[in-house]
Amino acid sequence: MRTATLLYHDVVPADQLQTSGFQGAVADRYKLSCDSFDAHLRAIVGRPLLRCETVTRLMSSSSDDGCPCLFTFDDGGVSALTEIAERLEAAGWRGRFFIPTDHIGQPGFLSAEQIRELHQRGHIIGTHSCSHPRRIDQLNDSDLQREWSQSTEILANVLQSPIECGSVPGGFFSRRVAEAASRAGLKVLFNSEPTCRWKKPGSLWIAGRLPIVNHTSASMAAALATGDRHTITQQQLVWNGKKLAKTVAGGLYRQVSEWIFSQK
Ligand SMILES: [Zn+2]
Protein backbone atom coordinates (compact mmCIF):
# COMPACT_ATOMS: atom_id res chain seq x y z
CA MET A 1 0.00 0.00 0.00
CA ARG A 2 1.17 3.53 -0.74
CA THR A 3 -0.04 6.96 0.39
CA ALA A 4 1.53 10.38 -0.02
CA THR A 5 1.11 11.35 3.62
CA LEU A 6 1.98 14.98 4.24
CA LEU A 7 3.37 15.81 7.69
CA TYR A 8 2.30 19.27 8.83
CA HIS A 9 2.35 20.84 12.29
CA ASP A 10 0.76 24.21 13.07
CA VAL A 11 -0.74 26.80 10.75
CA VAL A 12 -0.72 30.28 12.28
CA PRO A 13 -1.29 33.89 11.19
CA ALA A 14 1.96 35.57 10.11
CA ASP A 15 4.07 36.74 13.07
CA GLN A 16 1.89 34.84 15.58
CA LEU A 17 4.02 31.72 15.87
CA GLN A 18 3.57 31.65 19.64
CA THR A 19 -0.21 31.21 19.48
CA SER A 20 -0.21 27.46 18.78
CA GLY A 21 1.81 24.37 19.63
CA PHE A 22 5.29 24.06 21.06
CA GLN A 23 7.54 27.10 21.40
CA GLY A 24 11.13 27.56 20.26
CA ALA A 25 13.22 27.93 17.17
CA VAL A 26 12.99 24.28 16.11
CA ALA A 27 9.19 24.12 16.58
CA ASP A 28 8.79 27.40 14.67
CA ARG A 29 10.50 25.90 11.65
CA TYR A 30 7.51 23.57 11.21
CA LYS A 31 4.81 26.25 11.55
CA LEU A 32 3.26 27.47 8.31
CA SER A 33 1.63 30.85 7.87
CA CYS A 34 -2.07 30.76 6.94
CA ASP A 35 -1.19 32.27 3.56
CA SER A 36 1.34 29.50 2.85
CA PHE A 37 -1.12 26.80 3.85
CA ASP A 38 -3.80 28.35 1.63
CA ALA A 39 -1.30 28.30 -1.25
CA HIS A 40 -0.50 24.63 -0.54
CA LEU A 41 -4.19 23.72 -0.60
CA ARG A 42 -4.74 25.63 -3.86
CA ALA A 43 -1.79 23.80 -5.44
CA ILE A 44 -3.05 20.42 -4.28
CA VAL A 45 -6.69 20.94 -5.33
CA GLY A 46 -7.70 18.63 -8.13
CA ARG A 47 -5.06 16.04 -7.38
CA PRO A 48 -6.27 12.46 -6.85
CA LEU A 49 -6.90 12.67 -3.14
CA LEU A 50 -8.32 10.23 -0.72
CA ARG A 51 -11.01 11.60 1.54
CA CYS A 52 -10.68 10.98 5.25
CA GLU A 53 -10.83 7.22 5.61
CA THR A 54 -10.86 4.95 8.63
CA VAL A 55 -7.87 2.69 9.01
CA THR A 56 -10.09 -0.29 8.25
CA ARG A 57 -11.27 1.27 4.99
CA LEU A 58 -7.72 2.22 4.05
CA MET A 59 -6.50 -1.32 4.70
CA SER A 60 -9.20 -2.76 2.48
CA SER A 61 -8.42 -0.47 -0.46
CA SER A 62 -6.41 -2.20 -3.15
CA SER A 63 -2.98 -1.09 -4.33
CA ASP A 64 -4.66 -0.20 -7.62
CA ASP A 65 -5.95 2.91 -5.89
CA GLY A 66 -2.63 4.60 -6.73
CA CYS A 67 -0.96 6.79 -4.15
CA PRO A 68 -3.69 8.81 -2.44
CA CYS A 69 -2.76 11.84 -0.34
CA LEU A 70 -3.34 12.10 3.40
CA PHE A 71 -3.00 15.24 5.50
CA THR A 72 -1.51 14.69 8.98
CA PHE A 73 -0.83 17.29 11.67
CA ASP A 74 1.41 16.66 14.69
CA ASP A 75 1.62 18.25 18.14
CA GLY A 76 -2.02 19.05 19.00
CA GLY A 77 -1.69 22.84 18.69
CA VAL A 78 -4.92 24.83 18.89
CA SER A 79 -4.48 25.94 15.26
CA ALA A 80 -5.88 22.52 14.31
CA LEU A 81 -9.29 23.94 15.13
CA THR A 82 -8.78 27.68 14.72
CA GLU A 83 -7.07 27.60 11.30
CA ILE A 84 -6.67 24.16 9.76
CA ALA A 85 -9.98 22.28 10.06
CA GLU A 86 -12.11 24.88 8.32
CA ARG A 87 -9.65 25.23 5.44
CA LEU A 88 -9.54 21.47 4.86
CA GLU A 89 -13.31 21.18 5.12
CA ALA A 90 -13.80 24.01 2.60
CA ALA A 91 -11.83 21.88 0.14
CA GLY A 92 -13.92 18.83 1.07
CA TRP A 93 -11.10 17.11 2.94
CA ARG A 94 -10.36 16.01 6.47
CA GLY A 95 -7.10 15.61 8.41
CA ARG A 96 -5.47 13.32 10.91
CA PHE A 97 -4.46 15.15 14.07
CA PHE A 98 -1.96 13.60 16.49
CA ILE A 99 -2.21 14.76 20.10
CA PRO A 100 0.41 14.66 22.92
CA THR A 101 -2.08 14.15 25.74
CA ASP A 102 -0.10 15.75 28.61
CA HIS A 103 -0.54 19.06 26.78
CA ILE A 104 -4.33 18.90 26.34
CA GLY A 105 -5.83 22.17 27.57
CA GLN A 106 -2.50 23.93 28.03
CA PRO A 107 -2.09 27.40 26.48
CA GLY A 108 -1.70 27.02 22.72
CA PHE A 109 -2.92 23.41 22.70
CA LEU A 110 -6.33 21.84 21.98
CA SER A 111 -8.70 21.24 24.89
CA ALA A 112 -10.62 17.97 25.28
CA GLU A 113 -13.75 19.73 24.01
CA GLN A 114 -11.92 21.01 20.92
CA ILE A 115 -10.57 17.51 20.20
CA ARG A 116 -14.14 16.18 20.39
CA GLU A 117 -15.27 18.88 17.99
CA LEU A 118 -12.62 17.91 15.43
CA HIS A 119 -13.68 14.28 15.72
CA GLN A 120 -17.36 15.19 15.32
CA ARG A 121 -16.50 17.18 12.18
CA GLY A 122 -15.02 14.04 10.61
CA HIS A 123 -11.33 14.49 11.32
CA ILE A 124 -9.34 11.57 12.70
CA ILE A 125 -7.64 11.83 16.07
CA GLY A 126 -4.55 9.83 16.96
CA THR A 127 -1.95 9.78 19.72
CA HIS A 128 1.38 11.58 19.59
CA SER A 129 2.45 10.07 22.99
CA CYS A 130 1.69 11.61 26.42
CA SER A 131 4.63 13.91 27.07
CA HIS A 132 6.19 14.27 23.60
CA PRO A 133 9.55 13.04 24.98
CA ARG A 134 12.66 14.34 23.29
CA ARG A 135 13.85 10.76 22.56
CA ILE A 136 10.97 8.29 22.82
CA ASP A 137 13.26 5.56 21.47
CA GLN A 138 15.53 5.94 24.51
CA LEU A 139 12.86 5.55 27.22
CA ASN A 140 12.85 2.49 29.43
CA ASP A 141 10.21 -0.16 28.74
CA SER A 142 7.62 1.00 31.27
CA ASP A 143 7.88 4.70 30.36
CA LEU A 144 7.70 3.85 26.66
CA GLN A 145 4.60 1.73 27.19
CA ARG A 146 2.95 4.46 29.27
CA GLU A 147 3.51 7.00 26.48
CA TRP A 148 1.39 4.95 24.07
CA SER A 149 -1.06 3.12 26.36
CA GLN A 150 -2.02 6.04 28.57
CA SER A 151 -2.32 8.56 25.74
CA THR A 152 -4.45 6.14 23.74
CA GLU A 153 -6.71 5.56 26.74
CA ILE A 154 -7.07 9.28 27.45
CA LEU A 155 -8.05 10.05 23.86
CA ALA A 156 -10.44 7.10 23.70
CA ASN A 157 -12.14 8.47 26.83
CA VAL A 158 -12.33 11.97 25.35
CA LEU A 159 -13.92 10.68 22.13
CA GLN A 160 -15.73 7.64 23.51
CA SER A 161 -14.28 5.88 20.49
CA PRO A 162 -11.23 3.64 19.97
CA ILE A 163 -7.95 5.21 18.83
CA GLU A 164 -6.42 3.38 15.89
CA CYS A 165 -3.43 5.47 14.86
CA GLY A 166 -0.48 7.33 16.28
CA SER A 167 2.58 9.27 15.17
CA VAL A 168 6.08 9.10 16.63
CA PRO A 169 7.26 12.31 18.37
CA GLY A 170 10.41 13.73 16.81
CA GLY A 171 10.37 10.90 14.29
CA PHE A 172 12.49 8.75 16.64
CA PHE A 173 11.08 5.50 15.38
CA SER A 174 12.48 2.11 16.37
CA ARG A 175 11.22 -1.44 16.52
CA ARG A 176 10.74 -1.12 20.31
CA VAL A 177 8.71 2.04 19.80
CA ALA A 178 6.50 0.23 17.28
CA GLU A 179 6.05 -2.86 19.46
CA ALA A 180 4.92 -0.73 22.42
CA ALA A 181 2.46 1.12 20.15
CA SER A 182 1.09 -2.20 18.95
CA ARG A 183 0.60 -3.41 22.54
CA ALA A 184 -1.36 -0.20 23.21
CA GLY A 185 -3.81 -1.33 20.52
CA LEU A 186 -2.76 0.96 17.68
CA LYS A 187 -3.22 -0.35 14.14
CA VAL A 188 -1.14 2.23 12.26
CA LEU A 189 1.96 4.12 13.36
CA PHE A 190 3.11 7.06 11.26
CA ASN A 191 6.77 7.99 11.46
CA SER A 192 8.79 10.68 9.68
CA GLU A 193 10.63 8.61 7.12
CA PRO A 194 9.98 10.26 3.75
CA THR A 195 8.41 7.37 1.90
CA CYS A 196 4.96 6.58 0.53
CA ARG A 197 5.28 2.88 1.26
CA TRP A 198 3.41 1.19 4.11
CA LYS A 199 4.98 -1.83 5.82
CA LYS A 200 3.46 -4.39 8.13
CA PRO A 201 6.29 -6.21 9.93
CA GLY A 202 3.90 -7.54 12.63
CA SER A 203 0.35 -6.66 13.62
CA LEU A 204 0.98 -2.93 13.17
CA TRP A 205 1.13 -0.99 9.92
CA ILE A 206 4.09 1.42 9.69
CA ALA A 207 3.63 4.40 7.38
CA GLY A 208 6.19 7.00 6.38
CA ARG A 209 5.37 10.68 5.91
CA LEU A 210 6.59 13.59 3.82
CA PRO A 211 7.65 16.46 6.12
CA ILE A 212 6.56 20.02 5.36
CA VAL A 213 8.48 22.95 6.85
CA ASN A 214 7.80 26.69 6.78
CA HIS A 215 9.78 27.22 3.59
CA THR A 216 8.24 24.29 1.66
CA SER A 217 6.81 25.88 -1.48
CA ALA A 218 3.28 25.20 -2.71
CA SER A 219 4.63 23.54 -5.83
CA MET A 220 6.81 21.24 -3.76
CA ALA A 221 3.87 20.37 -1.48
CA ALA A 222 1.82 19.52 -4.59
CA ALA A 223 4.64 17.34 -5.95
CA LEU A 224 4.86 15.52 -2.61
CA ALA A 225 1.05 15.15 -2.49
CA THR A 226 1.16 13.25 -5.75
CA GLY A 227 3.99 11.00 -4.55
CA ASP A 228 6.47 12.46 -7.07
CA ARG A 229 9.47 10.14 -6.87
CA HIS A 230 12.14 12.73 -7.70
CA THR A 231 10.96 15.14 -4.97
CA ILE A 232 10.65 12.33 -2.43
CA THR A 233 14.15 11.05 -3.25
CA GLN A 234 15.47 14.55 -2.48
CA GLN A 235 13.68 14.46 0.89
CA GLN A 236 15.14 11.03 1.60
CA LEU A 237 18.68 12.31 1.00
CA VAL A 238 18.16 15.16 3.48
CA TRP A 239 16.48 12.83 5.99
CA ASN A 240 19.27 10.24 5.80
CA GLY A 241 21.85 12.99 6.34
CA LYS A 242 19.98 14.26 9.41
CA LYS A 243 19.60 10.75 10.77
CA LEU A 244 23.34 10.22 10.49
CA ALA A 245 24.04 13.57 12.18
CA LYS A 246 21.63 12.72 15.02
CA THR A 247 23.29 9.35 15.52
CA VAL A 248 26.83 10.69 15.45
CA ALA A 249 26.38 13.96 17.33
CA GLY A 250 23.46 13.00 19.62
CA GLY A 251 22.32 15.88 21.90
CA LEU A 252 24.77 18.23 20.22
CA TYR A 253 22.71 17.99 17.00
CA ARG A 254 19.68 19.49 18.71
CA GLN A 255 21.66 22.29 20.36
CA VAL A 256 23.26 23.20 17.04
CA SER A 257 19.84 23.08 15.29
CA GLU A 258 18.30 25.34 17.95
CA TRP A 259 21.15 27.78 17.52
CA ILE A 260 21.07 27.76 13.71
CA PHE A 261 17.30 28.30 13.50
CA SER A 262 17.35 31.00 16.20
CA GLN A 263 19.83 32.95 14.04
CA LYS A 264 17.40 33.13 11.11
ZN1 LIG B 1 5.71 16.27 17.51
Cβ atoms of 84 and 11 closer than 8 Å: yes
pLDDT band at 264 (very low <50, low <70, confident <90, very high): very low
pLDDT band at 248 (very low <50, low <70, confident <90, very high): confident
Query: Greatest CA separation found in the chain?
Result: 47
Query: From the CA of 74, how far away is ligand 1's center (Å)?
Result: 5
Query: From the CA of 62, how far away is ligand 1's center (Å)?
Result: 30
pTM reported for the whole predicted model = 0.91
Query: From the CA of 132, how far away is ligand 1's center (Å)?
Result: 6
Q: What is the pLDDT of residues 48-107, one digit of tens each?
A: 767 667 777 777 766 556 788 999 999 999 999 999 999 999 998 999 999 999 999 999
Query: From the CA of 129, how far away is ligand 1's center (Å)?
Result: 9
Query: From the CA of 134, how far away is ligand 1's center (Å)?
Result: 9
- Give dist(CA 155, CA 215) in Å, integer: 32
Query: From the CA of 108, how far away is ligand 1's center (Å)?
Result: 14
Query: From the CA of 61, how far away is ligand 1's center (Å)?
Result: 28
Residue 247: the pLDDT is 72
Query: From the CA of 22, how far away is ligand 1's center (Å)?
Result: 9
Query: From the CA of 139, how far away is ligand 1's center (Å)?
Result: 16
Q: What is the pLDDT of residues 164-216, one digit of tens each?
A: 999 999 999 999 999 999 999 999 999 999 999 999 999 999 999 999 999 99
Cβ atoms of 158 and 115 closer than 8 Å: yes
Q: Residue 249 to residues 132, 210, 214, 245, 256: CA-CA distances in angstroms?
A: 21, 24, 25, 6, 10
Average pLDDT in the 145-150 region? 98
Cβ atoms of 77 and 108 closer than 8 Å: yes
Distance of CA 215 to the CA centre of its chain: 17
Query: From the CA of 128, how far away is ligand 1's center (Å)?
Result: 7
- Domains annotated for the chain, with CATH where assigned, are 4-228 (3.20.20.370)
- Secondary structure class of 17 (helix, strand, coil): helix
Cβ atoms of 96 and 70 closer than 8 Å: yes
Query: From the CA of 64, how far away is ligand 1's center (Å)?
Result: 32
- Give dist(CA 72, CA 96) in Å, integer: 5
Percent of the chain with pLDDT strictly greater than 70: 90
Query: From the CA of 218, how far away is ligand 1's center (Å)?
Result: 22
pLDDT band at 25 (very low <50, low <70, confident <90, very high): very high
